Amino acid sequence: MAQRPYIVGNWKMNGTRAMLSEARAIDRAAQRLMKVEVAIAPPATLIHAVHKEADQIWVGAQDCHQSESGAYTGDISAAMAADAGAKFVILGHSERRGGHGETDASVKKKVQAALGASLAVILCCGESEDVRDKGKELAFVTKQLSASLPKMGNAAEKLTIAYEPIWAIGTGKTATPDDIGAVHAAIRKLLVDLYGAEQGAEVRIIYGGSVKPENARELMSVPEVGGALVGGASLAADSFMGIAAAAADAFEE
Ligand code: 13P
């Protein structure tokens, strides 16, 4: 795979303007690490400010509404996120599916809206501990993605899939390299089935769930892992860019 590793920080509901110094530090460090594509998705209140500070990194949103505008108190549309400086949006995160009742069908509409507004999309998927214990993770993830992915012809070029097993998010537990490899291989097969051999091979598949500088090199060495979606460890430039540096090493091997 010729693509650079893609290391994305999801700041979740963390950060006020005081965090802009961290964004600046991430941007400066990214300028010295051109082998890696670095991005952060701050809370919506900081998208514009981070965008103005950033020379090297991509800035994105953590969600968007499926409609272009209207009476949706508290929501932002894809076009609004783009207007604030977002180049991508994270969609279908388990914290949105679980905490805000998002379904595969509503996530699919959001993906269509985001692509329609020329945003790139990081579409999240991942099984619960219960599903994993039953050994049904491949069937679950494949079904979840099939139902959340639009069949639009140009979807593949702006798409990244993030595999985030729910039980690994914020818990310090990570899936084993073999487990991650098996899920990523199943996702790749689905993408090739949906978008054809050439386009399906180009979609990046990244892993998320307790990625830290200490485990990043091993996780980034797994076949079909094209980067990481990082929560807690993305809130400090040192740990986040430690992950980016580990990814650069892993991809050079
Ligand atoms: P943690 O890295 O904190 O486990 O979060 C992962 C995640 O949910 C990123 O979207």
Ligand 1 atom with the shortest distance to the CA of 170: 4
Question: Among residues 251, 244, 249, which one has the least CA distance to residue 37?
Answer: 244
How many CB atoms are located within 10 Å of the residue 190 CB?
Answer: 19
- The mean pLDDT value for 97-103 works out to 95
- The mean pLDDT value for 191-204 works out to 93
- The mean pLDDT value for 174-190 works out to 96
Residue 151 has what pLDDT?
Answer: 80
- The mean pLDDT value for 127-154 works out to 93
pLDDT at 152 over 90: no
208 Cα to the center of ligand 1, angstroms: 6
Residue 20 has what pLDDT?
Answer: 97
Q: Is 94 in the pocket of ligand 1 (CB under 6 A)?
A: no
196 Cα to the center of ligand 1, angstroms: 30
Q: Is 123 helix (H, G, I), strand (E, B) or coil?
A: strand
* Residues 62-92 as b or e (16 or more Cβ within 10 Å = b): bbbbbeeeeeeeeebbbbbbbebbbbbbbbb
- Is 93 a residue of the active site? yes
Which amino acid, 253? E
Q: Is 10 in the pocket of ligand 1 (CB under 6 A)?
A: yes
d(CA 136, CA 207): 18
d(CA 245, CA 18): 25
Question: Among residues 118, 192, 191, which one has the least CA distance to residue 148?
Answer: 191
Residue ranges of domains in the chain, CATH in brackets: 6-252 (3.20.20.70)
d(CA 111, CA 200): 17
What would the pLDDT profile of 52-68 be if each residue is shown by its tens digit? 999 999 999 999 999 99
Ligand 1 atom with the shortest distance to the CA of 209: 4
Choice among 14-18, 43-47, 80-84, 171-175 with the minimum mean pLDDT:
171-175
pTM above 0.95, yes or no: yes
What would the pLDDT profile of 73-86 be if each residue is shown by its tens digit? 999 999 999 999 99
**8 Å CB contact between 171 and 215:** no
Question: Among residues 94, 182, 200, which one has the least CA distance to residue 139?
Answer: 182
pLDDT at 1 over 50: no
3-state secondary structure 59-100: EEECCCECCCCCCCCCCCEHHHHHHHCCCEEEECCHHHHHHC
Query: What percentage of the chain exceeds 90 in pLDDT?
Result: 93
16 Cα to the center of ligand 1, angstroms: 19
- Is 51 a residue of the active site? no
pLDDT greater at residue 2 or residue 144: 144
Q: Is 196 in the pocket of ligand 1 (CB under 6 A)?
A: no
- The mean pLDDT value for 111-140 works out to 97
Q: Is 170 in the pocket of ligand 1 (CB under 6 A)?
A: yes
Which residues are within 8 A (CB) of 189 and not within 5 positions of it... i.e. 6 or more apart? none
pLDDT at 187 over 90: yes
80 Cα to the center of ligand 1, angstroms: 25
- The mean pLDDT value for 192-197 works out to 92
- The mean pLDDT value for 108-128 works out to 97
- The mean pLDDT value for 229-239 works out to 98
d(CA 22, CA 3): 26
Residue 2 has what pLDDT?
Answer: 54
pLDDT at 143 over 80: yes
Question: Among residues 126, 113, 109, which one has the least CA distance to residue 86?
Answer: 113
Ligand 1 atom with the shortest distance to the CA of 234: 2
Angle between helices 137-148 and 177-195 (to 10 degrees): 40
- The mean pLDDT value for 8-29 works out to 97
- The mean pLDDT value for 99-125 works out to 96
Pocket test for ligand 1, best of 12, 90, 123, 206 (most atoms within 8 A of CB): 12
Mean pLDDT (the chain, rounded): 95
